[in-house]
Structure formats: structure tokens, C-alpha cells
Copies of this chain bind each other. A is one copy, B any other.
């Protein structure tokens, strides 16, 4: 098999890549990286990602890292498989790019940090910083206000179709929905409907089934 994903089930970026492969219906081999023994900071992993963070990705002789670069590669290289996640049209792609950046810069800065504080820290025996949670919660609320206005205009962030811009949010939304942060999504009706739609997709259900088998 040509494609290998080097990752860990706990990692939202690893899950993002697996979700993209599921949506594109592309087969892969999963290579487990043990974060507790620091495999991500040692060879051979750091030859794939010199920053020492999962996931890493191989497709034949091509090595990639950074989950959002990997998903863009998969969407581009396997354009003919599964559902389209990007667009060939420069204007449509421009809109998709805007919401890809919003996720990477604005949603990530609040949502993924909340995920780390509330979900990941307890899992790895670290304490949650409640003052930080409060500040991040306010930050996420103001990001979601913009999402609510946007999703009142179109079913998905970049228009009427599900794209990579929506997909990139799923692993973090899935985790936050199991915490008190769920309220922030639930109290905004269009955001809430969008989350329900994203989490119900068969590709994400496939990733969840795999996670439960680990």
C-alpha cells in the first residue's frame, strides 16, 4: 500500500487526515506513533516531520507533515475519488481558501486550545487551567458569532457544498461537544445544525468506529 499515516488516535490533526481519507475513499496503512514514549520526537518519525508532531504522511516517495497540508494534498491528488473537497474554479476556490484560513487561524486558536485544556490535559494527567478556559471560551464565542451569520446564508462555510473548510473543524468539534463547551454550539441554531450535519457524516462515523477499535 502506497499511503501511510503515522499518527495517534488521541490527536485531532491525525483524525483530520483519517477523515479526509475516508471522505475520499482512499486506502491507507496506519502506523501507530506512541506519544507517551516520545516516538514523535525521535527517528524515524522526525525525518518525516522535523517539528516532531503527529501526523506524518507518506505516499510512495513523498513525505508530508502538517495535517492541513496533507488533507489538501489528498483532495488534490485524489480529486477523482470520493467526494470533491476543493474546487478547480478560482473564485469558488478563493471562498474555500478564506474559510480554510479562518479555521486554521481563528477557530484553531480558540477551539483546539480548549480541546487541549479540557479534553487532552485530563487524559494525559495534566491539570486544566480554568482561567485560560474562560478566556478561550469568550474567544470561541465571538468566532462562532461570525459562523452563525455565515451559516444563516449558506449551508456550509464555503457555500452549498461540504468542503475541506468544514471537514477541518470536525475532530475538534467532536471533542468539544462532549464538554461544557457544547452550549456555545447549541445556542447558535445554524452552527448547531451544521455541527449535527458534520458529525453524522458516514466518513466521520467510520473514523469513530476505528477509534473505538483502538
Known contacts A50-B146, A76-B90, A90-B73; is-contact A64 B104 (Cβ 8 Å): no
Interface size on A, residues (CB 8 A): 30
Contact A105 B66 (CB under 8 A): yes
Overall SS of chain A's interface: helix
**Segment among A91-99, A126-134, A183-191 that sits at the interface with chain B:** A91-99
Query: CB-CB < 8 A to A94: which residues of B?
Result: 59, 62, 64, 69-70, 72-73, 76-77
Shortest beta-carbon distance from A11 to chain B in Å: 15
Given contacts A62-B94, A104-B104, 20 further A-B contacts (CB under 8 A): A50-B149, A50-B150, A51-B102, A51-B106, A59-B91, A62-B95, A64-B97, A66-B98, A66-B101, A66-B102, A68-B97, A68-B101, A69-B97, A73-B90, A73-B91, A73-B93, A73-B94, A73-B97, A76-B93, A77-B91
